[in-house]
Amino acid sequence: MKPPRALVPVVIGLLILGGWEWFVRSGRVDDVLVPAPTQIGEWFWSALRDGSLASATWVTMRRLMIGFIIGAAIGIPVGALCARSSLARDTIGILSLGLQTLPSVCWVPVAIIAFGQNEAAVLFVVVMGTVWAVVIAVQESVLSVQPLYLRAAMTMGSRGWHLWTRVIFPAALPGIISGLKQGWAFAWRSLMAAEIFVVILSGFGLGSLLHAGRELLRMDQVVGVMLVVVGVGLLADLIFFSPIERWLRRSRGLER
Amino acid sequence: MPANPSSESHSQLTLSHVTKRFSGRAGLVTAVEDITLQVKEGEFLVLVGPSGCGKSTLLSLLAGLEQVDEGSIKLDGADVVEPGRDRLVMFQQDALFPWLDALENVLFGLRLKPGLTDAERTEAARYYLDLVGLADKEKAHPHELSGGMRQRVALARSLAPNPRVLLMDEPFSALDALTRDQLYGDIQKIFTQRKKTIVLVTHNIREAVCLGDRVVLLSPNPGRIRQVFNIDLPRPRRINDPALATLAADITTALSAHLAEPKEGLV
C-alpha cells in the first residue's frame, strides 16, 4: 500500500530536523549562531508560557486585519472605478501599477515622518502595501468579465448597481479573491517591515519580537519568530483563502 | 402562420432602411445596409446568410445592444434604442451565469420584472424549466449540465419574463447534431404552444427552413436582403424531411447565385 501523501513531507521534515540537531550538538558550529531545533523549541515554550508570544501575535494579527481590511475597502471600489473609467485607469491605474512595484518597506520613512512612531504609521505602511495590488487585481478581473454576460444581463433589464452587484462582481470574484490573497501577502510583508523599523510603544508585535531578538543576540528567538511568521502566513492561506478559491472554482466547474 | 386582418397595425416589429456601420481597421465598414423588414405577431422569422452578412449585427440592433446609424427599428410603434425586457436574447453559447444554478439563472430576468411576488417568480421559473424538460435540474450549475441542457436553460431564461419578441443568435451552433435535432423539436413545440414572435439568426439553411415561417436570405459586404422565402411546410417539421431538404437546396442555390464564390458552412 502506498503511504499517504501527507506523510512524505513530515518524514523528510523530521529527518532534516534530526540532522540539524545532531549537527549543532556535535559542536561543529557555535549554537549562538546556529541554534538547534530543541533550543528554538525551548524559546518557543518559554515565550508561550510567559504569554509574550501570544500577545505579540495578537498585536500583529490585529494590525494586519485592520490594515488589510482598510486596504481592501479602498482597493476594491478604486479598482472597480479604474475598470469603469478609462480616465481613472490612465491615472490611478497607472499610479497603482507603479506603486505596486515599490517595496513596501520604502513607505516606512514616509510613515514615520508623517505620523511619528505610532500605530498610525504601522497601519499606513500596511495599507500602502495592500491597496495597490488589490486595485490592479480588481481592475483586471472586472475588465476581463465576459462581455456576453453583460449583454445577456442588459437585455434582461439589468443596469447600474444591479449589473455591478449581480453580474460584474460575481463574474470577477475569482480574480478579486486572488487579488485579495496577493494583497494579504503584501500586507503581511509590509507589516513585518513596519514592525521591525518602527519602534513603537503602543504595541509589541512579532516584528518587534524579532527585532528584540536581534538586539539580544538571541538567534533562537529570531529563528523562532520567523517560524511563527511563516506559520501565520501559511495558516491564513490554508484556512481562509485556499478554501474560498477552491469553493469558487468548484462551484463553477473549473476544478473537480 | 396566424392570420392578421390588418397586418399593418399589428405588425409589431418594424425595420425600415436600417443601416449600421462599424469603424474597422480598413476604415468604415458597412455591416448592414438598407434593411427593411416587418416581423408579424407570432411569426417565426429566420435571418440566414454566410458569415459577414451582418445577421448577428441585425440581431444586436433588434436587441438594442447596438444603435442604428440610419433608418429605424420600432417595436409596437416605439423606437428601439436600448436593451429591454420586451426583446430577450438567447445567445450563441454559454451566456448562462456560472455562479448561479439553473433556477437562479431563469429567475435572473424574472427578478428584474416588476409587479410580481417572489412566489410568482419562482413558480414561473419552475414552469419554464419544466417546459424545456429540465424540472429536475433546477439546482444544477451550468457546468453540471450538457451543452444541450445549458441551451435549454438559456431558452427558459429568455422565455420566462414573457418577452414580446424572442431573439435567438445562433443558439444551436455549438451543439452536436443529435442534441440540435431534439432542440428543433422543442423550439417548435414551444413556438406553437406559446405563439411567441421569434427572430432567429443562423448560417445553417436547413435549420432555417426547419424552423422558420419566413426565411430572409442576407448576402454579405454589405449585408443586404437578397430574397425572402415563405416556408409553408406543416409543423412540426423534421430536419431530415425530404421536402425540407429540397427547399433548403433551392435556397442554397439561390444564395450561391448571389455570391461570387460560395462560402463554407452554408448547408
The structure's pTM equals: 0.82
Question: What's the pLDDT score for residue B85?
Answer: 86
Distance from the Cα of B1 to chain A's closest Cα (Å) equals 27
Cβ within 8 Å, pair A158-B141:
no
Place of cell 424545456: B132
Q: Which residues of B touch A155 (CB under 8 A)?
A: 63-65, 83-85, 87-89
At B196 the three-state DSSP class reads coil
Question: What's the pLDDT score for residue B4?
Answer: 42
Q: Which residues of A touch B141 (CB under 8 A)?
A: 251-253
Do A13 and A194 form a contact (C-beta atoms < 8 A)? Answer: no
Spatial separation of the C-alpha atoms in residues A146 and A170, rounded to whole Å = 12
Give the count of beta carbons closer than 10 Å to the beta carbon of residue B252: 17
Residue of B nearest to A171 (CA): B99
Q: Identify the residue among B66, B108, B128 best suited for mutation to test binding to A, counting A beta carbons within 10 A and taking the highest.
A: B108
Residue of B nearest to A158 (CA): B112
Average pLDDT, chain A: 89
Q: Identify the residue among A141, A149, A151, A156 best suited for mutation to test binding to B, counting B beta carbons within 10 A and taking the highest.
A: A156
Residue of A nearest to B60 (CA): A151
Cβ within 8 Å of B, A 138-167: 148-149, 151-158, 162, 166-167
Q: Is the ipTM of this complex over 0.95?
A: no
Spatial separation of the C-alpha atoms in residues A131 and A82, rounded to whole Å = 13
Give the count of beta carbons closer than 10 Å to the beta carbon of residue A201: 8
pLDDT tens-place string over residues A72-111: 999 999 999 999 999 999 999 999 999 988 888 888 889 8
Question: What's the pLDDT score for residue B7?
Answer: 41
Handedness of CA B230, B234, B236, B237 (dihedral sign): negative
Q: Which three cell numbers stand for residue A255?
A: 476544478
Buried/exposed B181-203: b ≥16 CB within 10 Å, e otherwise: bebbebbbebbeeeebbbbbbbb
Q: Which residues of A touch B113 (CB under 8 A)?
A: 157
Among A152, A162, A166, beta carbon nearest to B95: A152
Find all residues with CB under 8 Å of B159, minimum gap 6, and list them.
B88, B128, B131, B166, B190, B194, B196
* Packing angle, helices A52-84 and A37-49, rounded to 10: 90
Percentage of residues in chain A with pLDDT exceeding 90? 50
| Strand arrangement of the beta sheet that strand B197-202 belongs to | B87-90, B165-169, B197-202, B44-48, B214-219, B224-230
At B219 the three-state DSSP class reads strand
Q: Which residues of B touch A171 (CB under 8 A)?
A: 97, 99
Does the pLDDT of residue A198 top 70, yes or no? yes
Among B85, B112, B143, beta carbon nearest to A253: B143
pLDDT tens-place string over residues A158-188: 999 999 999 999 999 999 999 999 999 999 9
Q: Which residues of A touch B63 (CB under 8 A)?
A: 151, 155
Mean pLDDT of A43-51: 90
**How do the pLDDT tens digits run along chain B, 267 residues long?**
444 444 444 558 999 999 999 887 878 888 898 999 999 988 999 999 888 788 889 999 999 999 999 999 999 888 998 898 889 999 887 789 999 999 999 999 999 989 889 999 999 999 999 988 899 999 999 999 998 899 999 999 999 998 989 999 998 888 888 888 888 988 998 888 888 899 999 989 999 999 999 999 988 888 889 889 999 988 889 888 898 999 999 888 887 777 655 445 444
Cβ of residue A250 closer than 8 Å to a chain B Cβ: no
pLDDT tens-place string over residues B84-110: 888 999 988 778 999 999 999 999 999
**Which residue type occupies A249?**
R
Q: Which three cell numbers stand for residue A222?
A: 529570531
Q: Identify the residue among A145, A148, A155 best suited for mutation to test binding to B, counting B beta carbons within 10 A and taking the highest.
A: A155
Residue of B nearest to A146 (CA): B95
Place of cell 425600415: B16
Question: What's the pLDDT score for residue A6?
Answer: 83
Buried/exposed B212-234: b ≥16 CB within 10 Å, e otherwise: bbbbbbbbbebbbbbeebebeee
Do B50 and B206 form a contact (C-beta atoms < 8 A)? Answer: no
Do B173 and B148 form a contact (C-beta atoms < 8 A)? Answer: no
A219, B190, B236 from B183: Cα distances, Å: 72, 10, 12
